[in-house]
Structure 1
Amino acid sequence: MMETNTALTAQDVADILKIAKNTVYELIKRGELNSYKVGRKVRFTLSDVEEYIANSKCIQKPLSGRIASLEPAPLTSPTPMVSRNDFIICGQDLMLDVLSSQIEKLAPATRTLRSYIGSYNSLVALYQGHVQVATAHLWDGDTGDYNIPYVRRLLPGIATVIIHLTCRIQGFYVPKGNPKQIYTWSDLSRPDLNIINREKGSGSRILLDENLRLLGQSGQSINGYRRESQSHFAVASTVGRGGADVGIGQEKVAHQVKGVDFIPLQKERYELVVKKEDFNSTPVQTILEILRSEEFRLEFEGINGYYIEEMGNIIAEI
């Protein structure tokens, strides 16, 4: 079980963030990542890494390999550093960082930026014209569908195209061995459990709230419901170090955190949403070319937690 004050090496941090070891040292030099020294060796605590993740809350250039859980506060207006001609992709998955880098290689005239915000706020930002690509994994409990019902509600009067990226498995993070035998949504209301929740607007939070609604349960009656975390990684690590009995998140993150088992619940659809007026633009057509390429598929074919059979398919035109 990884404690908050466990000493981590630069390589440990690189593995957690899915970046190069040299990038870790660069983050230290820029004052973005806290560290300490034991003799001549640089060391970190898990709380240093989580603080770095929490502080990475701005639109930024894609950093190939950056952990998918970096996410900012809701984007409400363009920042002065963002040009009107910039192409902004919302979302938190590692796949989007790799996609952004590929766009700039194939369409060098396009400056591609990333905004690490959740699904609900991503669609709102697209509606408001602040971004060009939103991503969503939002489940509707009444229809059992992903994303289409939310695109219709949150982008009224705007013609959109939904492009499939990947499927992922959502489920529970529980301590190794699942000592409290947590398997279903109804288990979360047990008085002996404490959860760690995601922030409002994230796909995982909406999945929880929709399932509670269908069960006729109030989130307010669940221990820990008001305790929010900003990333899948932070949720899993909280469970892994004994700070909560259960959290909700993606399968692939469970493989990165010690002391955690994963209880699969549902396959979700993770998709891109663009305005139809932008569909024939060079950046969007470049995205389709990349997603349908064998090279891009091979990047993710062997990674646990990605199901890419439908990658690049047009799912709906709304």
Structure 2
Amino acid sequence: MTSDISYTTEDISKLLKISKLTVYDLIKKGDLPAYRVGKQMRVDAADLEAYKVRAKSGRGVAIKTEPKESVPSQPHITTKTASQHAIVITGQDVSLDILAKHLEKKAPQIRPLRSYVGSLDSLIAMYKGESDIVSTHLLDGDTGEYNIPYIRKLLIGSSYVVVNLVSRAAGLYVQKGNPKQLRGWADLQQPHLRLANREKGSGARVLLDEQLRLHGIPSQLMVGYEQEESNHMGVAGKVALGEANFGVGIEKAAYMVGGVDFIPLIKERVDLVMLKKPENLAWIEAVKEVLQSEAFHHELRPIQGYDLSQTGRILFET
């Protein structure tokens, strides 16, 4: 029966043919009632049908559809929780999942929603009003500065604060023993190198493209440049399997995948961006307190490759 069916945010994204960020935005605005089961947000089938009726009659939010296939519904046994203020946290690093958990404990009135989106798309989502906390690690090759040049260009006219989350080593995944002898960015001009690339808009993709530009290396030299993986693990895995000579990513994934060597080339800064709207100020303070807390640091310290020396430090504020 319909009353026994609920959907995940991913299900709704596919059923309505919209992005997961749009689903989160509907939940955040209260247009689509949702509740938490474990780490997942779920929406009852009856509430989804009610939203669709409102949208068709012009009383709901208009949505732009994309041609995607639907997925089957899933049963659940649960009860709805009290209303909370939902905030969307975008980014792919595991430290954001840990942040969401600590924030929920620190401020029970907050309901963190996680969206696993790359750095550039996260900033665009914030500009469009679809995200509340954005993580970004984007290198500006001309200045050597991380994040702030992009933030200032994309969030023109907004008031915001930039706080450091973590710093970490980024560089090259290479096959065991480094048979191609790749030691730096300039070595990528070797002909016929096979690349495991990241998706457009990700921090790793921006890092690679900026280094290719700075070193005058045409991307056309590389086999596989147009083929994209959606995370660091996928890139490292391709290299470990011998399907690529190299990829760009972070140290942690090399240790998790195994079978690859990691060549550190740069320390990248992963920062959080939060818009300083009046209604956001209370939970922004809660985020700052979590970032500076010993409990949060204690949970991050065992993770390979994290530098917490600037975690919680305000780097830029308008």
Give, in whole Å, the separation in 1 of the partners of 2:10 and 2:181.
Answer: 35
Pairing 1:241–2:186 present = no
> What residue number does 2:27 align with?
82
CA pair 276-96 structure 1, distance change in 2 beyond 3 A: same
Q: Which is higher, the Rg of structure 1 or of structure 2? A: 2
> What residue number does 1:155 align with?
155
Q: Is the 8 A contact 1:278 1:284 kept in 2?
A: no
CA pair 119-58 structure 1, distance change in 2 beyond 3 A: farther
**One-letter code of the match for 2:117?**
I
CA pair 259-278 structure 1, distance change in 2 beyond 3 A: farther
Pairing 1:290–2:290 present = yes
Q: TM-score when scaled to structure 1?
A: 0.74
Q: Displacement, 1:220?
A: 2.5
Q: Displacement, 1:81?
A: 5.6
Mean Cα deviation higher: 211-220 or 256-265: 211-220
Correspondence 1:150-229 to 2 at 5 A: 150-229=150-229
CA pair 80-297 structure 1, distance change in 2 beyond 3 A: closer
Does the residue aligned with 1:77 lie in a helix, a strand or coil?
A: helix
Does the residue aligned with 1:269 lie in a helix, a strand or coil?
A: strand
Q: Displacement, 1:189?
A: 2.6
Q: Is the 8 A contact 1:87 1:283 kept in 2?
A: no
**One-letter code of the match for 1:144?**
G
Mean Cα deviation higher: 202-211 or 104-113: 104-113
Q: Displacement, 1:57?
A: 9.7
> What residue number does 1:136 align with?
136
Q: Displacement, 1:252?
A: 0.8
**One-letter code of the match for 1:288?**
K
Q: Displacement, 1:214?
A: 1.0
Pairing 1:250–2:229 present = no
CA pair 279-209 structure 1, distance change in 2 beyond 3 A: farther
CA pair 214-314 structure 1, distance change in 2 beyond 3 A: same
Correspondence 1:87-126 to 2 at 5 A: 87-126=87-126
Q: Displacement, 1:78?
A: 4.2
Give, in whole Å, the separation in 1 of the partners of 2:271 and 2:11.
Answer: 22
Mean Cα deviation higher: 278-287 or 151-160: 278-287
**One-letter code of the match for 1:243?**
E
Q: Displacement, 1:180?
A: 1.3
**One-letter code of the match for 1:266?**
I
> What residue number does 1:26 align with?
none
Q: Is the 8 A contact 1:173 1:247 kept in 2?
A: yes
Q: Is the 8 A contact 2:292 2:312 kept in 1?
A: yes
Pairing 1:265–2:271 present = no
Does the residue aligned with 1:274 lie in a helix, a strand or coil?
A: strand
> What residue number does 1:146 align with?
146
In the alignment, structure 1 segments of 5+ residues that lack a partner are 1-29, 33-54, 60-72
> What residue number does 1:230 align with?
230
Does the residue aligned with 2:149 lie in a helix, a strand or coil?
A: helix
Give, in whole Å, the separation in 2 of the partners of 1:157 and 1:171.
Answer: 34
CA pair 170-57 structure 1, distance change in 2 beyond 3 A: farther
Q: Displacement, 1:186?
A: 2.2
CA pair 110-280 structure 1, distance change in 2 beyond 3 A: closer
Give, in whole Å, the separation in 2 of the partners of 1:153 and 1:232.
Answer: 27
Q: Displacement, 1:159?
A: 1.7
**One-letter code of the match for 1:238?**
K
More strand per residue: 2
Q: Is the 8 A contact 2:169 2:305 kept in 1?
A: yes
CA RMSD of aligned residues (A): 2.4
**One-letter code of the match for 2:231?**
S
Q: Number of residue pairs matched?
A: 253
> What residue number does 2:314 align with?
314
Pairing 1:274–2:274 present = yes
Give, in whole Å, the separation in 2 of the partners of 1:304 and 1:81.
Answer: 36
Give, in whole Å, the separation in 1 of the partners of 2:203 and 2:152.
Answer: 16
